Amino acid sequence: MYTSLSIKNFRAFETLEIEGLKRVNLFTGRNNSGKTSVLEAVYLLEGKFPASRARQLFRNRGLADAGMVHKTALDMPWATLFRNLAVEVDIELAGGPTMMTLSTNSNPRTSELLNAARDFSPNPYIRNLLLSSKDGQRGDMVFIQDGKVEHFGGDDTFLNLTSFLLAGVKRSQQVLAVQFGELAVEKKDALLLEALQLIEPRLRGLSTILSGGALLVHADLDGTDRRLPLAVVGDGMVRLLDIIIAIYQNQNRAVMIDEIENGFHYSALPKVWELIHKLANQYNVQVFAVTHSHECAVAAHEAAKAEDYDYQYFRIEQKNGVGHAFPFDQEVMQTAIDVQMEFR
The dihedral region occupied by 266, where left means phi > 0, alpha psi between -120 and 50, and beta the remainder, is: alpha
In angstroms, the CA 253 to CA 71 distance is: 35
Q: Provide the Cα torsion 190, 193, 195, 196; round to 10°.
A: 170
- Over residues 208-216, the mean pLDDT reads 86
Least confident window among 92-96, 119-123, 295-299, 323-327:
119-123
Residues 6+ positions from 56 with CB-CB distance below 8 Å: 159
Q: For the beta carbon of residue 55, count every other beta carbon within 10 angstroms.
A: 24
Tell me the average pLDDT of the chain.
83
Q: What is the pLDDT of residue 176?
A: 87
pLDDT tens, 123-151? 444 444 555 555 555 567 777 666 677 77
Q: What is the pLDDT of residue 126?
A: 44
pTM more than 0.85? yes
- Over residues 109-131, the mean pLDDT reads 51
* Domains in the chain: boundaries: 170-249
212 secondary structure, DSSP code: T
pLDDT at 201 over 70: yes
Strands (E), the chain: 4-10, 13-19, 24-28, 91-95, 98-104, 129-132, 140-145, 148-152, 164-165, 203-211, 214-221, 228-229, 254-257, 286-290, 311-319, 322-328
